[in-house]
Amino acid sequence: MSLALWLSRRPVLPVLAVVAALALPLSGGGEGGAGPADAVSALVVGYCVLRLLRERRRPLSRTAAVVLGLPVAGTALAAMGAVSPGAGFAGLGRYLQVFVLVPAAVVLLLRDRRDVRLLVWTLIGLALWEGAVGVKQYVTATGASYQGEDIRAVGTFGAQDVMGMATVVSFGLICAVGVALGGGTAPTPSSASAPTPARERVIAGVCALALLLPLALSFSRGAWIATTLTLTVQLALSGPRRALKVGAVALAAGVVLVGGLGVGTAMLQERLGSITQVADAPDQSVTDRYTMWAAATGMWREHPLTGVGLKGFPEYRDGHASLALSSGSDTAGAGAGFRRQPLLSPHNMYLLVLGEQGLTGLLCLAGSWLALLVLGLRGLWATRTTRAAGGREYGVIGCGLLVWLLVDFMYADIGGPSTVLTAVALGLVAWWALVGGAERGRSARIAAGGVPAVPVARGAGVL
């Protein structure tokens, strides 16, 4: 079978290639910028454009175009005020890639529930791979440096992107929990060997439990907080009875891993304890973060509407930061030598946008996310009121991924090779909010005797 025929039958395959490219090892001495997956994502966007031109159809409805295109306005305005044309162009390209182009391409290339299922399990598979590499790094002391020991699990992303593996594992854990809670998918005639719903839920549950260990060994406080809150939301959406059962299993697994097996007990307890000390006795990394947050806020006060321009934070940082800011963070291990990594962002997505794009950019970007959250929750509610369980797991996953990002963005921002996975995750979120969940809402209105609504994304796949 030719490649063209494969792509015509399964247009989601290029999206899966983006996820697979993240499993490739990166050079330890890189700058932590774009990687192979970014190049593949550009090809995916180009393929999607060519596909739309060939089919000559309107890709998205007005609602979907506004929601996905809203970040363009604030980003383009901030690009015009950048410190240099090159910085403005680079920043504009990055923001459009992560928050507009790749998510829109994912929405358009996901045709039906089987495509979504493939993407979800690919994310879980990537998380298991990166998690396995991370556990091996901890056991063999070949990971990134942490408190003088090379034990921090970073997967294939290296010491320059210590949040990379934690992000991948968190996404995989959210997807696995969503499948385990959402009811699974039934076998299709074209896939008679597919697992039964009960079997798929069990497999997903086992994968979720397996991913708890590498997430713990990432020593990422931000990922721990975001994942804990997200899983709590997912459990709440699944119902109180199921939430109690799954919560009991997760608690038992945590006791076995940490209490029974003694997995990183001392360091994990110290790292967990440091979460409550961010105000009373913060370490240097927390102090640096607070200082950069204050610097970003100072930039916004001077330029409240449009900010200092894209990629402007490093240029204006020293003029707004106090003397408490260190010169950089130390990175080493995972195949790379010691290096002093400069602090070029405030590690807070909201403050980064506020400082560089002003209130205009923040309202546009956060408005798009809020719209996706509202639409996603509405679609998820429709599956509950109509008792239409089919596809509900993808609503739990989509809403979960967005909640994780919204929480994680409070102490992290975009940057590094793993950023492209954020774009793919946002595409999955947008698919549920604008296509899958909207179709469930349409079914609910039909069942209630109302007037059928027009699908919000013409030509895209539905449940």
Q: How far apart are CA 367 and CA 70, in angstroms?
A: 8
Is residue 456 very low, low, confident or very high in pLDDT (cuts 50, 70, 90)?
very low
**For residues 330-368, b (16+ Cβ closer than 10 Å) or e, as one string?**
ebbbbbbeeeeeebebbbbbbbbbbbbbbbbbbbbbbbb
Amino acid residing at 199:
R
Tokens standing for residue 416: 């590094």
Tokens of 362: 């923040």
At residue 112, the pLDDT reads 84
pLDDT of res. 193: 38
Q: For residues 425 and 405, what is the distance between their CA atoms, to the nearest angstrom?
A: 9
How far is Cα of residue 345 from the mean position of the Cα atoms in its chain?
19
- Judge whether residue 102 has pLDDT over 80: yes
Contacts with 388 (C-beta within 8 Å, 6 or more apart), sequence order: 382, 440, 443, 444
Specify the 3-state DSSP secondary structure of 67: helix
pLDDT for the residue 2 = 55
What mean pLDDT is predicted for residues 382-392? 63
Helix 419-431 and helix 113-140, axial crossing angle in degrees, nearest 10:
150
Tokens matching residue 239:
């119902």
- Per-residue pLDDT, averaged over 454-462, amounts to 44
Q: Which of the two residues, 86 and 450, has the higher pLDDT score?
A: 86
Please name which of 37, 33, 78 lies closest in space to residue 306, comparing C-alpha atoms.
Answer: 78
pLDDT for the residue 375: 93
The pLDDT-based confidence of 443 (bands split at 50, 70, 90) is low
- Range of 76-85, 177-186, 382-391 with top mean pLDDT: 76-85
Q: Residue 270: which H helix or E strand, with range?
A: helix 265-275
- Three-class SS state of 346: coil
Whether the pLDDT of residue 463 is over 50: the answer is: no
Distances (CA, A) of 399 to 79, 163, 284, 432: 30, 21, 34, 8
CA–CA distance, 389 with 111 (Å, rounded to integer): 19
pLDDT for the residue 3: 54
**DSSP codes, 295-339:** HHHHHHHHSTTT-S-TT-HHHHHHHH--TT--S-EEEEETTEEEE
The residue among 262 and 39 whose pLDDT is bigger is 39
pLDDT per residue as tens digits for the range 206-230: 999 999 999 989 888 889 999 999 9
With CA atoms as reference, report the closest residue to 310 among 107, 124, 72: 72
* H-helix or E-strand spanning residue 146: strand 144-146
Segment among 38-47, 272-281, 318-327 with least mean pLDDT: 272-281
| Distance of alpha carbon 91 from alpha carbon 81, whole angstroms | 11
257 Cβ contact list (under 8 Å, min separation 6): 212, 213, 216, 263
Number of Cβ within a 10 Å radius of residue 461: 21
- 146 forms bridges with which residues in the sheet? 149
Is the pLDDT at 195 greater than 50, yes or no?
no
d(CA 372, CA 402): 8
User: What pLDDT sits at residue 434?
Assistant: 92
Q: What is the pLDDT of residues 290-319, one digit of tens each?
A: 888 999 999 999 999 999 999 999 888 888
Alpha-carbon gap, residue 369 to 408, rounded angstroms: 13
- Each residue of 167-191: pLDDT tens digit? 999 999 999 999 988 754 444 444 4
The mean pLDDT of 374-401, rounded to a whole number, is: 80
| Percent of the chain clearing pLDDT 70 (strictly above) | 74
- Classify 151 as helix, strand or coil: strand
Q: Are 326 and 284 in contact (CB under 8 A)?
A: yes
The whole-angstrom separation of Cα 99 and Cα 92 is 11
Count helices and strands (H / E) in the chain.
18, 4
Closest CA to 133 of 108, 166, 173: 166
The DSSP bridge pattern shows strands 144-146 and 149-152 to be: antiparallel
Region of residue 183 (left: phi > 0; alpha: psi -120 to 50; beta: else):
left
- DSSP annotation of 276: T
Name the burial class of residue 392, with classes exposed (0-12), middle (13-18) and buried (19+) by CB atoms within 10 angstroms of its CB.
buried
